[in-house]
Structure 1
């Protein structure tokens, strides 16, 4: 049995939904389908999830919601009309569903937003189940509540409770049927909607793959493979045939948007392979993500990714490394402001704290600066706002002792001096900090090196 998930671009229109249905019914093992909200149909279009965000804001403000509600429902009506379902009551039911949500009382503003943000997937799953039934297939909508998916945490950053996996495992599919499950959300113990973090539908697919203990999790998107570098930076980059779980997490973290870095954790736990494929080219093999023991690499560098979404705080103080508890003082300040850090490379007199930019605003940065200065009295303290992180990732990095030296040499040749270098103990990735204005240039030269550096045959065995 397989779990198959479709992204927003794969379900953006009636034409795309038909492609998805063709893929589902082409393999009888595809019994569990996870759907996203309809995405963009063309350049300049708007995602249904963004429209729902506008609807939530209007409800919160007490404004008239009729126009935005009609615009949302029009997206679903277009899909229904493509399948000649004009006589169906499905759109009327979706309208009544949205109106009921608007009339509800919510425990907090965050709960309200979570409820509306979940409806893109929720309504799409209901519609697609009806479409498939209309076409003569044994398809049934299944709510995450029916599967026993219970979460805790913040309403818009939920975490599945571990006991939910056992409940999912006991759910029984009827012989020959296909279930359509909305991605991105579940429910808390009080029955309130709660959404997962970014990449939420990927997370749902991964959860169900583990819960049902499937043979394969197929993740359909709008690209035919995961590439060794962003195609917007390098033309026609090398496709990656196979990736290890560890490599996927490292690359996703640094900017590969095909698969969310958090979403893969449930399948790692269960050892289930993930096949990333293209809805518009379903016969292409795509990229397989698998345990390290099942992956046969041919390149020293599997992929290179860059992200500009970081800011860094640099601290300098002589004998910094000798003071017991200094790092604890810094962490206590971060805890005070509910801010987590991404990395904290250090030297004997220097320490750099790297943050996700989305966590900080100008007020928080100013307050953090004042409190850290008071706590540790540094000789020098400076924020680097134009800060990009480049991740050089590959299970084969360990096989060539001078590879990172070659990378730095290539950067030096084009006048890029890294502001920070950090290599984890796993030896599968090296993080390089550079000026964000030159990040793409740095990625290109590293990719050129990676495309010609191959593992020796002895390392492949």
Structure 2
């Protein structure tokens, strides 16, 4: 395990930085704990349900017509100006923020994709610059740090980048120098620089990734991720009324649940923290006194029950095929994969039986115009007895470290669903033995989550894992 530097990286999401009122809450949080040294920020989010996120305005600025772009530019400037005015930031200090926005179209770009990435990243960059000015103004000496100064290098697409592993060494080399003062270091999330020194952004929600990268590189004691919920819950509050809050969970439980719809974290966000073994704490900007949820390594966790959480997602579709003696044909699966490759389609899971095989897809990856020819090719090549495309498909993940040492968890899940007349299309337990994946009809998924939740969190007379 890395030696901790005794400091904390804190990340504030867009809802936590939407306006001056939320800035005040951030200031109070930083004042309350002076070990919070590295501050990662998102672009300002929505101030109300009908509001527009700054990132969306910047996309319109980059891609809209002349009039649309001009309107978006003015809207972004006014968002930052409103915050600056409430803290009496003078025009001289605000001018660089406005000028950067005005100058964005004049940068030299190698491609439209490169241009879009820099425009999008401006939301985080300028919010970090403004927050650093405001913090210093209220007595918290702060410094804006661009990702280039930290050596955050990325690979891949301009608008779907991944961190280059050399980044961690770059940060570690500068760590002591950067921390030797008591300045708060304010870092924009969401982007880094590629080998050509061009801005490239992580996928949407990528400020979480930046926070985890810095927690790893700085060997932080904790990575605190401030959002707009008191904790991570054992089920979706839109499906389960007042679900049990999770006090503590493991990295891999979080990853499993994120896959099936837990939206507190960007799906890839915690990987750098996992690799650096930095505990993550999810807290609420509006209620920072709440305990929140800690996400810790497996060897530092004691399960208090078999199930930690139940998540579901309706973004899936499935292909069911049946052929007698399927299991005896050498190369059957290879032929199927070659057809999928021909159509440039990736799959998520492929559970199989003796005569049956189900292929599960992310519906967002399917071009439905090619579906008829895809199914024809599969039938002709594999000579299937039955072939069915199931568009009404959903996946449920039942996750808990406690499953590994508990007999009968699968029986309890299936029994709870069977008693309520919900058929299970597919069931698969992962090799780690901490997750059970179920396939059900979309029309039944919310009810299924309800019955599973009741089985593990209510039936025994408890509402929690304790």
TM range (shorter): over 0.9
Which residue in 2 is equivalent to 1:287? 293
How does 1:28-427 map onto structure 2 within 5 Å?
A: 28-58=34-64, 65-85=69-89, 87-171=90-174, 172-173=177-178, 174-427=180-433
- Asked if structure 2 preserves the Cα contact closer than 8 Å seen for 1:267 and 1:273, the reply is yes
Q: SS of the residue aligned with 1:300?
A: coil
**CA drift at 1:153:** 0.9
Q: SS of the residue aligned with 1:181?
A: strand
CA-to-partner distance for each residue in 1:276-302, whole Å, 9 max, x for gaps?
Answer: 011111111100000112112212110
> Distance in 2 between the 1:369 and 1:63 partners?
46
Question: Could you tell which deviates more after superposition, 277-286 or 128-137?
Answer: 128-137
Q: SS of the residue aligned with 1:146?
A: helix
Matched, 1:435 2:441: yes
- Asked if structure 2 preserves the Cα contact closer than 8 Å seen for 1:300 and 1:453, the reply is no
**CA drift at 1:367:** 4.9
> Distance in 1 between the 2:456 and 2:259 partners?
20
Q: SS of the residue aligned with 2:149?
A: coil
Aligned length: 454
Question: Could you tell which deviates more after superposition, 166-175 or 299-308?
Answer: 166-175
- Asked if structure 2 preserves the Cα contact closer than 8 Å seen for 1:301 and 1:453, the reply is no
Q: Indicate how the Cα distance of structure 1 residues 332 and 25 shifts in structure 2: closer, same or farther if over 3 A, else same.
A: farther
> Distance in 1 between the 2:438 and 2:99 partners?
52
Q: Indicate how the Cα distance of structure 1 residues 64 and 402 shifts in structure 2: closer, same or farther if over 3 A, else same.
A: closer
Q: Indicate how the Cα distance of structure 1 residues 372 and 92 shifts in structure 2: closer, same or farther if over 3 A, else same.
A: farther
> Distance in 2 between the 1:63 and 1:365 partners?
40
CA-to-partner distance for each residue in 1:190-235, whole Å, 9 max, x for gaps?
Answer: 1222111243011111111111111110011111111111111111
**CA drift at 1:374:** 4.6
Q: SS of the residue aligned with 1:118?
A: helix
- Asked if structure 2 preserves the Cα contact closer than 8 Å seen for 1:242 and 1:297, the reply is no
**CA drift at 1:400:** 3.1
Q: Indicate how the Cα distance of structure 1 residues 179 and 441 shifts in structure 2: closer, same or farther if over 3 A, else same.
A: same
- Asked if structure 2 preserves the Cα contact closer than 8 Å seen for 1:73 and 1:91, the reply is no
Q: Indicate how the Cα distance of structure 1 residues 335 and 399 shifts in structure 2: closer, same or farther if over 3 A, else same.
A: same
CA-to-partner distance for each residue in 1:25-52, whole Å, 9 max, x for gaps?
Answer: 2211111111011111122222111222
CA-to-partner distance for each residue in 1:379-417, whole Å, 9 max, x for gaps?
Answer: 322221121111000011233322211211111222110
- Asked if structure 2 preserves the Cα contact closer than 8 Å seen for 1:319 and 1:349, the reply is yes
> Distance in 2 between the 1:355 and 1:314 partners?
11
Structure 1 segments, 4+ long, off by >6 Å, are none
Can you give the 5+ residue segments of structure 1 that lack an aligned partner in the other structure? Answer: none
Q: SS of the residue aligned with 2:150?
A: coil
> Distance in 2 between the 1:166 and 1:268 partners?
16
What is the TM-score with the length of structure 2 in the denominator? 0.93
> Distance in 2 between the 1:334 and 1:130 partners?
53
Q: Indicate how the Cα distance of structure 1 residues 73 and 301 shifts in structure 2: closer, same or farther if over 3 A, else same.
A: same
**CA drift at 1:118:** 1.4
What is the TM-score with the length of structure 1 in the denominator? 0.94
RMSD, aligned CA: 2.0
**CA drift at 1:319:** 2.0
Q: Indicate how the Cα distance of structure 1 residues 293 and 351 shifts in structure 2: closer, same or farther if over 3 A, else same.
A: same
**CA drift at 1:270:** 1.4
> Distance in 2 between the 1:20 and 1:278 partners?
11
> Distance in 2 between the 1:289 and 1:9 partners?
22
> Distance in 2 between the 1:161 and 1:401 partners?
42
Which residue in 1 is equivalent to 2:4? none
**CA drift at 1:168:** 0.8
Question: Could you tell which deviates more after superposition, 273-282 or 437-446?
Answer: 437-446
Can you give the 5+ residue segments of structure 2 that lack an aligned partner in the other structure? Answer: 1-6
- Asked if structure 2 preserves the Cα contact closer than 8 Å seen for 1:393 and 1:430, the reply is yes
- Asked if structure 2 preserves the Cα contact closer than 8 Å seen for 1:111 and 1:155, the reply is yes
